[in-house]
Amino acid sequence: MNNENWYPLETSALIYPAIISPRQPSVFRLSCTFEKEIDPEIMQTALNVTMTRYPGFNMTLKRGVFWFYFEEMEKTPELQPEQNYPCQMVDPEAEGGYLFRVTWYKNRVNLEVFHVISDGTGGMEFLKTLVYYYLLLSGEDVKPGETVRTLGHKPTGEERENSFLRYYDPQVPSDRADNTPALHYSGTQMPVGHSRAIHIRTETAPLLAISHKYQVTLTEYLTAQLLRSFLDVLKEDTDSNKPVKISVPINLRKLFPSDSLRNFTYFANIGEPLSKADEPLEDTLQYIKTQLRATCTREALVPRLNPNVSSEKNPFLRAAPLSLKQLVLRQAHHILGDNLFTASYSNLGIIRLHDSMHKHIKNFDFGLSCSDLIPLNLSMLTWEDTAYMTFSSIVEERDVERTFARKLCEAGLELRVWSSDPGKESENEDLS
């Protein structure tokens, strides 16, 4: 093999082969809903074209003596009809070797990605290119503008870069930040392979107005409301002194210049104990604002990024056989992974496309997988003038979703709420 056909996993991806299972799929889902029903033959052609632009997605996972690694595929993935619940485990054997899947249902196309190859930012770049070429091949007069990577712009080496290595500074002491175990939410588990998505839409302008009234960002406001929703629900069921913590992904590309389409994200775990459940919203917002802004600086993040890179570079760990590394990584994830937060809230931000594409697209959506320890997550993105939020869950109870929606309504927001299942959708969902 040569370096054109294979390359190592980037730093944060090393954990995923060790922990993947049907109950811990580590998958995210990005969807685009068109105004017209999809022609699957044209979508397959668009997928073939898109794959030539994204060599980092044209990889399968191989097991080496010391590490897993990526190897280039020599075929193209097949578009599949949507049949399963969202964000199920991506099994390379079932996906023809690929580490993602593309499915369709009526006028919606879905990209589901195993986190080992990319994060939400990289995945959205892939989806935007797929959407562009689908519309173009369908005969629509669309332009990519500056927002879509096309065949006219060849992939750069930086797109496949491990940016954690670029910004690693061995002179800076490592700091893993807060390692306090979090309180966890539990409920009636759905069967393996089942999940529920509850979608919430609201206009962006009033949501931003409320956030600005409190002098916080939209992410800070919704993080606080999600945290308070968990506090309200859990205070009735437990007297634990563990904090409820929300894990907020930080797109490191905004602080450390990088064009990498691989994982380049840090997760800040922000929370409070149940004793704070009845404090004023203003106090929670000030706490969230202070903690997140203190974390989102280069000076604060470099010490927190260093530990994983230094572990990867450790000569003893590098020389250990892969089976032993897997045991170590699984144990590390148990202690320093899901154990440290209650749920995650991921905001992918504003989706930007050339004006010529807007009239052909209804909306985008973003969803996350769950795990036994983290059975409920919230994700969102903004398209045009609307915020699209998705609760992903693998428990039957809806207490947190209902509480969160009530808080937003009490703040003066008008919400549209519905749930979705494979092959059917129901609007105006009753969360009671």
3-state SS track over 45-96: HHHHHHHHHCHHHCEEEEECCCCEEEEECCCCCCCEECCCCCCCCCCCCCCC
The pTM score is: 0.95
Share of residues in the chain with pLDDT > 70 (%): 96
Burial letters 17-27, b for 16+ CB under 10 A, else e: bbbbeebbbbb
Q: How confident is the model over 49-61, as a mean pLDDT?
A: 96
pLDDT confidence of 422, banded at 50, 70, 90? very low
Q: What is the pLDDT of residue 312?
A: 82
pLDDT confidence of 100, banded at 50, 70, 90? very high
Between CA 92 and CA 254 the distance in angstroms is 32
Question: Helices (DSSP H) in 72-171: which residue ranges?
Answer: 120-137, 163-166
Q: How confident is the model over 38-53, as a mean pLDDT?
A: 98
Q: How confident is the model over 117-137, as a mean pLDDT?
A: 98
C-beta of residue 384 within 8 angstroms of C-beta of residue 203: no
Domains defined for the chain, CATH in brackets: 6-166 (3.30.559.10), 196-345+372-427 (3.30.559.10)
Between CA 13 and CA 108 the distance in angstroms is 29
Could you tell me the two tokens for 159?
A: 């797109």
Q: How confident is the model over 308-326, as a mean pLDDT?
A: 83
Higher pLDDT, 424 or 288: 288
Q: What is the pLDDT of residue 386?
A: 98
Write out pLDDT tens, residues 249-258. Answer: 999 999 999 9
Q: How confident is the model over 198-215, as a mean pLDDT?
A: 98
In the predicted structure, residue 424 carries a pLDDT above the cut 60: no
In the predicted structure, residue 432 carries a pLDDT above the cut 50: no
Write out pLDDT tens, residues 281-304. Answer: 999 999 999 999 999 999 999 999
Q: How confident is the model over 141-145, as a mean pLDDT?
A: 97
Sign of CA pseudo-dihedral 47, 48, 49, 54: positive
